[in-house]
Chains A and B, each alone.
Chain A
Amino acid sequence: MTDLLRVRDLSTRFFTEEGQINAVENVSFTVEAGSVLGVVGESGSGKSVTGLSLIDLVESPGRITSGEIWYNNADLAERVDGDRPEAVDGDFVDLRRLSEAERRSLRGSAFSMIFQDPMSSFNPSITVGEQIAEAAEVQRRASANPRSTRSRTQGYGLGKLLLDGVLPDRSYTSAESWDRAVELLERVGIPDPAERAEEYPHQFSGGMLQRAMIAQALAGDPDLLVADEPTTALDVTIQAQILDLLADLQETMEMSVVLITHNLGVIARVADRVSVMYAGEVVERGTLEDVFDDPVHPYTKGLLGSVPDIDRPGERLEPIAGNVPDLVDANMPDRCYFADRCPKAMTDCLTRPPEYDVSEGHRARCVLAEREYSEADAVPEGRLSGPTDDAGTPGGGSVGPGESGASDRSSETDAEVSDD
């Protein structure tokens, strides 16, 4: 299988008054064409910021500070080669070295994103059809005239009302893009799409609105869809519908999907490959079988052991002690970030572990990939003073799984002021 995206050593930081937050740190992974990569982690692990970094949506005070995102697109490579040969490697283009305008032109047509909460992602005062048609129109105009890729923001409220009175025919969308919107709504399984397109977001249920958001994301026929917790706000029967839809679309449209979630069941249902994130790092990655059946990193094992199994209820869960650390740079120890919660911490863990190869394509950021645990090398008590549950360091794990997008930033606010 060819690779669609190769991400190398990507770091995204937030520069706040409380200090520097390392939301994503030296993350590397590959997305194969036509496959699903699952990114799993707890809140504050940096999985949402990773998704935003991929399509260059990180907002101030955040910034991608280093790393490369190689995107496989022969046409783009040819176009860019003249101006910036350093950004091209064969058919691959390093998105980070493209200009802002070029990156923006890829949004929607090459990469698209759907968000967790469909209710707050739509404009409540514009019909669903109009909002999807707008996305389709942007793509239509862009392909008609590659230089006009500017998206247009709809005004609304009193201003729109007055303007509409003066200029009755100022609709941005065209009949063509409206038809495309209806077609897209039908594609994502909304019954009576022509009628529903005329309705406002509040007239849709949560599941329907999530379908509509997927339709909007598909408007530009993207190569890669980043889905950030697409089913977290939905009930389990609706979740099953949406996962089926995503799997179906991914197959028929030959899209790649990066699925970000905290739910291991969702990952198991749709992902081909898995990256497990902890404290801004990918601690383990590999195929679904590698990570679920043969995990190496104690965090991956702990995560799998924390989930009650619906088919085989055990007597007792084996949780991971302690909480997720906050990501303020000054508080991050210069050792394995997981060592203070790790049942198998050894003296080796007092230095930062590199990514070890476990087998072909299966990597883990843990020394256990290389050697067995031995009691003799266990870290003596007290060497690891870090945020544990009882010590009560604020910030860290305090953000619910619901708030992934903002979680890394909200943990800054209750984090302790750093000294630098």
Chain B
Amino acid sequence: MTDPLVTVDGLEKYYYENDTLLDRLTGAEREAVRAVDGVSFEVREGETLGVVGESGCGKSTLAETLMRLREPTGGSVTFDGDPVYELSGDDMDAFRRRAQVMFQDPFSSLDPRMTAGEIITEPLAIHGVGTGAERRERAETLLEEVGLSADQIDRYPHEFSGGQRQRIGFARALAIDPEFVVLDEPVSALDVSVQAQVLNLLADMQAERDLTYLFIAHDLSVVRHISDRVAVMYLGEIVEIGPTEEIFEDPQHPYTKALLESVPRADTDERDRVVETIRGDVPSPRDPPSGCSFRTRCPELIQPPWLDAPQAAFREISEFRTRIENGDIDVDTRWEQVGDPDREDRAAFVDSLYAEAFDEDLPDDDEGTVREAIRALADGDREAAAATLRERYRSPCEAVDPALPAGEHPSACLLNEQPDDVEAAREEWEADRDAPGVGASSR
């Protein structure tokens, strides 16, 4: 039960932009989109490992790369002792027989010009299993097993409903009698009543055939329902992995906590539940944040050791800092809004932007520093404004990249236990910097 069937180690899948011959000739720098950025985990025999994350976090790319439907740019996958990316010939065929995949979209994942029987027997034909009659018989049995009837074997996909098509997709995945099935969002296109039917079917078939599942979904309730263990992905990385019960009852990573809190419950108490929503959007995987990739949205962003501001104030300052560093604030437009095209009344500019950006009461020192930065901005010196804020409000989260330690329920966050090298890097960073000055008011 606890033997790993699949071991993934440091898996990376980058897509490159600006990578055409012309770009290379002109010396343009190629740009990496880090869809999967160094992921390690194992899937144990007979379990269901759920992978959750928001769109764009790389969970589907992970599944496709793991199955070698795409070639990785780094790392390795071991399936029952065999290195998947080094297999070829008969060994590769054997891997393809033992591992199967079922896709999300019931409409585009079945060939509209093949009958249900042809779809289900195709993997058998490819691997040369049985005679035509035997294959057909097997397809009929499979149809019955997934809750359809054998006399539907000659129907085309358009004659089935969405839930029925997903059953056919599942029958196709099972046809070759695999041990390991990757389920990529198998129920997210279905209505809730039909979704429950398919989830029950997946659970029944797993019990009957000792299947191992890698279950990918964005719906946390579904993942909790079906998984034994859960991995949470954010921006191409696993930020937390552990037994389902622990992930849902005792989440460690701030992202997991926020994700769980965001799910609306179908319950009459839901209205009064206070949800601390996380702000902002997922950053682009072209240009992920330095250090911890979640730090731009993290409610628990760590303050530098010399600072002791209220957490809410620190977050507002950090968000304001991000806006300045990204150049989101257009100084010209601001001046226009202040109604001072000659740019003489700097105090009015500072007051207007400060009032807009800060709801919290900042401690006096911090208000001074922020206003100093805005003054620099008013003069058009964005670099100086950013530097002023950076000096005082740098967080260890942006300098030190947290890692996912080994263990039963690790979390990739500096607030939790980290491997020695990460702890050492953090100490070094903190020792490296003396407490900076306090800003204009004290100078």
Asked whether, in the complex, the Cβ of B282 is within 8 Å of the Cβ of A235, the reply is: yes
Asked whether, in the complex, the Cβ of B282 is within 8 Å of the Cβ of A241, the reply is: no
- Of B159, B164, B266, B337, the contact of A307 (CB 8 Å cutoff): B266
Q: How far is the CA of A304 from the CA of B270 in the complex (A)?
A: 14
B306, chain A: closest CB distance, angstroms: 28
- Known: A264-B266, A397-B163. Is A237-B258 also a contact (CB below 8 A)? yes
Q: How far is the CA of A306 from the CA of B222 in the complex (A)?
A: 11
Asked whether, in the complex, the Cβ of B161 is within 8 Å of the Cβ of A396, the reply is: yes
- Of B158, B221, B278, B279, the contact of A394 (CB 8 Å cutoff): B158
What string of 1s and 0s marks CB contacts (under 8 Å) between B181-196 and chain A?
0000000011111111
Total residues of chain A contacting the partner, CB 8 A: 65
B28 at the interface (CB under 8 A from A): no
Asked whether, in the complex, the Cβ of A240 is within 8 Å of the Cβ of B264, the reply is: yes
A309 at the interface (CB under 8 A from B): yes
A368, chain B: closest CB distance, angstroms: 18
Which residue among B148, B149, B262 has the maximum number of chain A CB atoms within 10 Å of its CB? B262
Asked whether, in the complex, the Cβ of A394 is within 8 Å of the Cβ of B192, the reply is: no
B220 at the interface (CB under 8 A from A): yes
A333 at the interface (CB under 8 A from B): no
Closest to B152 in A: A392
Of residues 121 to 160 in B, which have CB atoms within 8 Å of A's CB atoms? 147-149, 152, 155, 158-160
What string of 1s and 0s marks CB contacts (under 8 Å) between B169-204 and chain A?
000000000000000000001111111110110010
B250, chain A: closest CB distance, angstroms: 13
A163, chain B: closest CB distance, angstroms: 28
Which residue among A205, A207, A390, A400 has the maximum number of chain B CB atoms within 10 Å of its CB? A400
- Of A192, A304, A319, the contact of B194 (CB 8 Å cutoff): A319
- Of A208, A265, A302, A397, the contact of B265 (CB 8 Å cutoff): A265
What string of 1s and 0s marks CB contacts (under 8 Å) between B322-337 and chain A?
0100001110011011
Asked whether, in the complex, the Cβ of A43 is within 8 Å of the Cβ of B333, the reply is: no
A320 at the interface (CB under 8 A from B): yes
Q: How far is the CA of A270 from the CA of B272 in the complex (A)?
A: 10
Contacts of B281 in A (CB 8 A): 205, 207-208, 238
B161, chain A: closest CB distance, angstroms: 4
Q: How far is the CA of A324 from the CA of B200 in the complex (A)?
A: 19
Asked whether, in the complex, the Cβ of A270 is within 8 Å of the Cβ of B148, the reply is: no
Contacts of A264 in B (CB 8 A): 192, 266
B275 at the interface (CB under 8 A from A): yes
Contacts of B195 in A (CB 8 A): 306, 319
A353 at the interface (CB under 8 A from B): no
Q: How far is the CA of A239 from the CA of B15 in the complex (A)?
A: 29
Q: How far is the CA of A192 from the CA of B377 in the complex (A)?
A: 15
Contacts of B311 in A (CB 8 A): none
Asked whether, in the complex, the Cβ of A308 is within 8 Å of the Cβ of B260, the reply is: no
A333, chain B: closest CB distance, angstroms: 18
Q: How far is the CA of A398 from the CA of B264 in the complex (A)?
A: 26
B263 at the interface (CB under 8 A from A): yes
Asked whether, in the complex, the Cβ of A236 is within 8 Å of the Cβ of B164, the reply is: no
What string of 1s and 0s marks CB contacts (under 8 Å) between A242-267 and chain B?
01100000000000000000111111
A268 at the interface (CB under 8 A from B): yes
Asked whether, in the complex, the Cβ of B277 is within 8 Å of the Cβ of A237, the reply is: yes
Asked whether, in the complex, the Cβ of A308 is within 8 Å of the Cβ of B161, the reply is: no
Asked whether, in the complex, the Cβ of A310 is within 8 Å of the Cβ of B260, the reply is: yes
- Of A208, A241, A269, A397, the contact of B270 (CB 8 Å cutoff): A269
Asked whether, in the complex, the Cβ of B271 is within 8 Å of the Cβ of A269, the reply is: yes
Contacts of B147 in A (CB 8 A): 389-390
A311 at the interface (CB under 8 A from B): yes
Asked whether, in the complex, the Cβ of B263 is within 8 Å of the Cβ of A392, the reply is: no
Binds B, one of A27-35, A85-93, A116-124, A288-296: A288-296
Contacts of A313 in B (CB 8 A): 224-225, 244, 248
B162 at the interface (CB under 8 A from A): yes
Contacts of A236 in B (CB 8 A): 54, 218, 220, 259, 262-263
- Of B191, B261, B330, the contact of A262 (CB 8 Å cutoff): B191
Asked whether, in the complex, the Cβ of B193 is within 8 Å of the Cβ of A42, the reply is: yes
Show 5 A/B contacts (Cβ-Cβ < 8 Å), sorted by A: A237-B259, A308-B224, A319-B193, A323-B164, A401-B189
Given A268-B265, A390-B149, A398-B162, 6 extra CB contacts under 8 A: A263-B264, A307-B266, A310-B220, A310-B221, A390-B147, A395-B161
Pairs A-B, 7 closest by C-beta atoms = A265-B264, A319-B196, A264-B266, A308-B225, A268-B270, A235-B54, A306-B196
On B, residues with C-beta under 8 Å from A are: 54-55, 106-107, 147-149, 152, 155, 158-165, 189-197, 199-200, 203, 218, 220-222, 224-225, 244, 248, 258-268, 270-271, 275, 277-279, 281-282, 323, 328-330, 333-334, 336-337
